[in-house]
């Protein structure tokens, strides 16, 4: 059912779009916030220039994109904002709120092929070993499970912290995740992860937390689940205690490490794509470049190659 749209409140169209998007897509809170923030920023730009949202033109949008570049936004951020705007105007056009779509000839800026930074296997071992040795503390046990699950499954951090007990298979052999676009994926768990998980959910501290948080969340906190930010800072703290540079450690880097190490050890790209929850395999192929670099370095050190005379 459509909400009433007042004549002078163009922002109501943004609310309509957000309502429709939230209803049709299984978006995280952070995704919804990004959509809203992007569109409100665009609306503010139009208002300052005295342009109309419903009569927005190709030139208005290209001017906005140029202004984002002048503000030194990262290329990935500009690409996201343009994508949000494209979805918004597609909605307005489909719903017949506008007669022409100003995004039709707008080209999405090209993505910079910057290789993601990731932790090597020794760094990950340092993190997990420190947490395993110090897991007598419930906070460390929880951080151990979070970190092990993230590295073992490649979950998005938002998927990780918001896991429910219902996501767990009865025998703890796998987890079922409902990701972006309501797409479900089942991810198997290794024996070591299963053991940590079993220890965690049977611990007195977890049972007490579960009771006060509604018996829903795997990582309960104050009536809900722990936040991404809370885990981020926990991981940074553990990185320092493990002797690592905390600037090189984050939940997202662990997700990258999962994908890169899987590929390095022979996993198929399609499998990695499925586990990461990506729709397009091209988003996964960047990890082949990382491992190609490793291969080239290894070839340079090959004992036979080093005995050959270069002509």
Please state the domain extents for the chain.
Answer: 11-94, 121-298
Measured CA to CA, the distance from residue 135 to residue 144 in angstroms comes to 7
Q: Which of 83-87, 235-239, 248-252, 273-277 has the lowest mean pLDDT?
A: 273-277
CATH code for the part of the protein at 11-94 = 1.10.150.130
User: Which positions are annotated as active-site residues?
Assistant: 156, 180, 252, 255, 278, 287
Question: Which tops the pLDDT comparison, 240 or 270?
Answer: 240
Evaluate whether the domain defined by 121-298 bears CATH number 3.40.190.10.
no
Distance in Å from the first CA to the final CA of the chain: 76
**Which tens digit of pLDDT belongs to each residue from 224-249?**
899 999 999 999 999 999 999 888 89
At 190, give phi and psi (nearest 5°). -75, 165
Neighbours of 215 (CB within 10 A): 11
Pairs from 203-206 (Cβ < 8 Å, separation ≥ 24): 203/138, 203/141, 205/138, 205/141, 206/138, 206/142
Q: What is the mean pLDDT of residues 207-211?
A: 81
**pLDDT for 152-193, tens place per residue?**
998 999 999 999 999 999 899 999 988 777 778 899 998 999
pLDDT of residue 302: 41
In this predicted structure, the answer to whether residue 72 has a pLDDT above a threshold of 90 is no
301 — pLDDT class (breaks 50, 70, 90): very low
The Cα–Cα gap between 133 and 274 comes to 33
């Amino acid at each position: 059912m459509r909400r009433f749209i007042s004549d002078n409140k163009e922002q109501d169209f943004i609310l309509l779009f957000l309502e429709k998007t939230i209803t049709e897509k299984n978006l995280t809170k952070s995704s919804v916030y990004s959509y809203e923030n992007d569109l409100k920023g665009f609306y503010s730009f139009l208002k300052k220039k005295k342009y109309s949202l419903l009569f927005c033109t190709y030139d208005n949008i290209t001017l906005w994109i140029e202004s984002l570049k002048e503000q030194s936004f990262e290329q990935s951020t500009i690409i996201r904002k343009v994508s949000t705007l494209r979805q918004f105007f597609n909605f307005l056009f489909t719903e017949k709120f506008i007669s022409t779509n100003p995004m039709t000839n707008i080209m999405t800026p090209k993505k910079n092929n910057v290789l993601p930074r990731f932790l090597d296997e020794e760094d990950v071992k340092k993190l997990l070993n420190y947490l395993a040795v110090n897991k007598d503390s419930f906070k460390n046990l929880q951080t151990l499970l979070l970190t092990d699950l993230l590295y073992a499954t490649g979950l998005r951090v938002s998927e990780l912290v918001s896991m429910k007990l219902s996501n767990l298979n009865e025998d703890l052999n796998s987890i079922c995740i409902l990701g972006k676009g309501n797409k479900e994926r089942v991810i198997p768990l290794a024996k070591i992860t299963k053991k940590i998980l079993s220890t965690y959910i049977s611990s007195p501290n977890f049972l007490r937390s579960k009771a006060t948080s509604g018996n829903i969340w795997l990582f309960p906190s104050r009536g809900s689940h722990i936040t991404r930010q809370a885990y981020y800072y926990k991981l940074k703290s553990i990185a320092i205690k493990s002797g690592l540079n905390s600037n090189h450690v984050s939940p997202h880097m662990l997700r990258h490490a999962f994908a890169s190490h899987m590929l390095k050890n022979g996993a198929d790209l399609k499998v990695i794509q499925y586990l990461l929850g990506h729709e397009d395999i091209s988003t996964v192929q960047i990890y082949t470049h990382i491992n190609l670099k490793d291969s080239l370095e290894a070839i340079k050190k090959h004992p036979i190659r080093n005995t050959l005379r270069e002509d």
